[in-house]
Amino acid sequence: MKHKTKILSSLTALALITSFNTSAQSNTGSSLNQDGFYLGGNYGYLRVEGDDDFDDDKDAFEGIVGYRFNQYFALEGSYIDFGEYGSDLANADTNGYTAAIKGSLPLNDAFSLFLKVGQLWSETDYSALGATREIDDESVFVGGGVAFTLTPNFVLNATYSVYDTSLEFDDVDDENFETDFKQASVGFEFRF
């Protein structure tokens, strides 16, 4: 995951440099930023639900980088730390990266609804009955929420997302345990 962190940091730096260049060269005269790069973050409540011993409630943190093509459509990537969850007998620690398509429906100048659909690439370190293992997983997710524009550059949001994940225990009869991450969060976007 360390090389993925370097890649995300590089992409974020590139997005910042490009967006400062773009905003220095353009002056649209509009009160709302309809397109361009944005950075953001979310903090929320995570509910882990599954057919295994890993059910738990935890905090989750998310860093976001995205590009808005217009007021209706954006591409977004994020890094999410789902934290450690489980019990003393079985526990796991998951983090991952996402890529998503985000659609927005403006209700007025301040409020908009949005829907995200994408892919989660996650890494889980788990321990069960004394056995430890690291697994990688790919899963889909869907999320939706409401955004409130405070200024042309600063937006608050509330989001609910569901990630369809699975944990594989090769040492226990090659079983797969379906686990859903359900995340309710609040956060912000800073648009360049």
pLDDT tens track for 106-164? 999 899 999 999 999 999 888 877 788 888 889 999 999 999 999 989 999 999 999 98
CATH number of the domain enclosing 136? 2.40.160.20
pLDDT on residue 53: 54
- The pLDDT score that the predictor gives to residue 33 is 57
- The per-residue pLDDT for 184 is 94
Average pLDDT over residues 39-57: 77
- More confident call, 51 vs 84: 84
Q: Nearest CA to 98 among 117, 115, 70, 124?
A: 117
pLDDT at res. 169:
53
Q: Which long-range contacts (CB under 8 A, 24 or more apart) does 137-140 make?
A: 137/96, 137/165, 137/166, 137/167, 137/168, 139/163, 139/164, 139/165, 139/166, 140/164
- The predicted pLDDT at position 168 comes to 57
The secondary element (H helix, E strand) that includes residue 6 is helix 2-25
Query: What's this model's pTM, rounded to 2 decimal places?
Result: 0.73
Mean pLDDT of the chain, nearest integer: 80
For tokens 């409020």, name the residue: 111
Number of domains in the chain: 1
91: its two tokens: 């526990």
Domain span including residue 111: 2-191
**pLDDT above 70: residue 21:** no
Q: What are the structure tokens assigned to 116, written together?
A: 């995200």
φ, ψ at 2 (rounded to 5°): -65, -40
Q: Tokens standing for 186?
A: 């609040």
3-state secondary structure of 192: coil
